[in-house]
Structure 1
């Protein structure tokens, strides 16, 4: 869980320190926002190639190696001499995350029956919004005290502690039937239309959520005159509601059904994103809307991960790698597109755009998600 905590801080850290980085690096807000894409894009492009590694080599070897690269990359970001080197460091961190994350999801999928899997996924996923409760406030404080470099150094130290803890987990071995070729695993995935459609839900959902989240720090700075420290504390409240949403989603996925849980989560997020433009100068109302947003996103995610982990059990690492690629491809495209919407219009325009993309994700979920397995016989 501590590894996911570090990844969670890394995903969200640009938002609270974005105004400070823009000033100190002498770059526009939109340019600094692209650092989110610099982290997400390598993950999106390389995830399909790293996912099969844990099917072939075993889960522990792969997720330890991925977290080691992630740790070194964040320490390099803290020492980056320029914006360009910082972007390269963010890209290397994305590669480490692309190796680490699907191996962990596959590890959980191997050890929990489908009926219990959403609850198990929720325990791990809760570490990501939990990162915004402690990680973002502490990262924001580090940025206040030491500049933006302190925030990345903080992530590197947390990841190093997680890496040392993972060393003591017993090494697993690949299961029978998992050691096929990389290309065979990917061909099998491409032969499963239900799986491909479910991946489109992940992409659009996180294109919407990551795009607008990147500019939340700017929204609170402009609307309420908040400092970096205050923004980090507000986003910490977002994380608390995310933990609540994750645990509720895991708990109620069996009674509601995993598909309904995903649809309910997307709906809550979309309505909250549309409402954010109307909060005016009311801080309490803004916090309520942000809470609904957080609960919605994290309520549906454990069920989405559980559904996908069962669609092709014989190549679970491959599936989770490609799914996380779609998540991070959405997270890479989202801020880039949202930045253009924000520059060309206002936060109100960004809110409307986000609601529209969330509606597309909801429609796809209604049409294509299933709770049962759709295994395709592997292509030899």
Structure 2
């Protein structure tokens, strides 16, 4: 069992790392894609938009379906669709088919990412849920800072199309690996309606993640531009700052697992949001303080992503009967928050400038904390599972 657990964690980590690469690698490649298809940068930006919208829309459906019929086949299906979508992205004959390929990619990732989170919690020992979940989350977060360099390196030597070909090959291998890894996880079925009036409660719970994402991404989306504008950072210094942020994100996720298992999901998720609010205020005060900014960026990501991992663990535990759909709704809430955060960040910059962004983020963090104090579920409903 111990060995099987390590194998499952490794497969989950690698799978989520690949999903993260697919998400974060597209943006730096947009100029090359724009040139290849002779379209404007604004048009190529739709590649990111349609991916995110498709993911956000379909993730809850796949989560619901996995709670009814098991996760293994849906994860495998998603990876096979991932292979097809990336091959189509690499060799799309026109820009229209390129957009279609990213819609399919969003659909594929929607049936993989939240289900990997759910199946890891399904298989985790009761006292190790936070640790196991934080480990696989770190795979996705590692791609946050590794995705862009990976894509640019391949583009430099082999061209941008090679990035998607290589992801398709890895996806095909992972389809086989995941199909075999989760073979011995029993499928479980609920004998009654999965939600049974819980949908509004679930939406209220995942709104915590929406405001958390607003607080994180209203600044992060414009981090490079703000560092250049307020600190006159060079491209090398901006890259170093983002590296500090990325390392903090991965470490925060990993550390949160140990803390969550020791002190409880609810306590850690609330405490991290309190500290996140304070860090944003400090970030606003010290944003133009030169080298100190590296420390505060590291601290911001460390605390912020520790909170994200612990809150996911909290949802997984407190919604144990609807785990797949709750993980999916939480990921949808994340994408909605990222979108709203980028919009709010753009508005703040146009009205008051970059220096106000950390303070606006602190307000969003406070709102996330207030929402997190609600009771997720008053009582555990009795399970009505039957193994097959």
TM-score (norm 1): 0.81
1:163 counterpart = 2:175:
yes
**Secondary structure, aligned partner of 1:185:** coil
Aligned equivalent of 2:312, options 285, 305, 327: 305
* Aligned residue in 1 for 2:381: 375
- Are positions 1:328 and 2:342 aligned together? no
Work out the CA distance in 1 between the residues paired with 2:338 and 2:326: 18
Match of 2:151 in 1: 139
Q: Distance in 1 between matches of 2:40 and 2:191?
A: 49
**Preserved contact between residue 67 and residue 188 of structure 2 (Cα < 8 Å):** no
- In the TM superposition, what is the alpha-carbon distance from 1:260 to its structure 2 partner? 2.3
Partner of 2:3 in structure 1?
none
Aligned to 1:49: 61
2:68–2:188 CA contact under 8 A, matched in 1:
no
Contact 1:54 1:174 in 2 (8 A): no
Specify the structure having the higher radius of gyration (Cα): 2
Aligned length in residues: 369
> How far has the Cα of 1:116 moved from its partner?
1.9
Contact 1:61 1:171 (C-alpha < 8 Å) held by counterparts? no
Residue deviations 1:4-55 (CA, integer Å, cap 9, x gap) = 0012223333565678889996436xx8766544332222222221112222
1:317-355 CA distance string (max 9 Å, x none)? 222222222222223333244334434543224333322
Mark the runs of 5 or more structure 1 residues left unpaired by the alignment: none
Q: CA deviation at 1:133?
A: 4.8
Q: Alpha-carbon deviation of 1:63? A: 0.9
Label 1:129 to 1:120 Cα distance change in 2 as closer, same or farther (>3 A). same
State whether residues 30 and 45 of structure 2, in contact with CA within 8 Å, keep that contact through their aligned partners in structure 1.
yes
TM-superposed deviation, 1:291: 0.6
In the alignment, structure 1 residue 204 sits paired with structure 2 residue 218:
no
When residues 369 and 55 of structure 1 are mapped into structure 2, their CA distance, relative to the original with a 3 A threshold, is closer
Report if aligned partners of 1:114, 1:306 keep a CA contact under 8 Å in 2. no
- How far has the Cα of 1:361 moved from its partner? 0.6
Q: Is the 8 A contact 2:209 2:308 kept in 1?
A: no
Range moving further from structure 2, 276-285 or 121-130: 276-285
**What's the RMSD between the two structures over aligned residues?**
3.5
Change (3 A) 1:132 1:377: closer
Q: 1:117-266, aligned counterparts within 5 Å?
A: 117-145=129-157, 152=164, 155-172=167-184, 175-178=187-190, 184-190=193-199, 193=201, 195-220=202-227, 222=229, 223-224=231-232, 226-227=234-235, 234-266=241-273
TM-score by length of 2: 0.79
1:8 aligns to what?
Answer: 20
Separation in 1 of the partners of 2:186 and 2:82? Answer: 24
Distance 1:215 1:160, change over 3 A: farther
* Runs of 5+ unmatched residues, structure 2: 1-12
CA contact 1:59–1:173 (8 Å) conserved in 2? no
> Which residue of 2 is the match for residue 116 of structure 1?
128
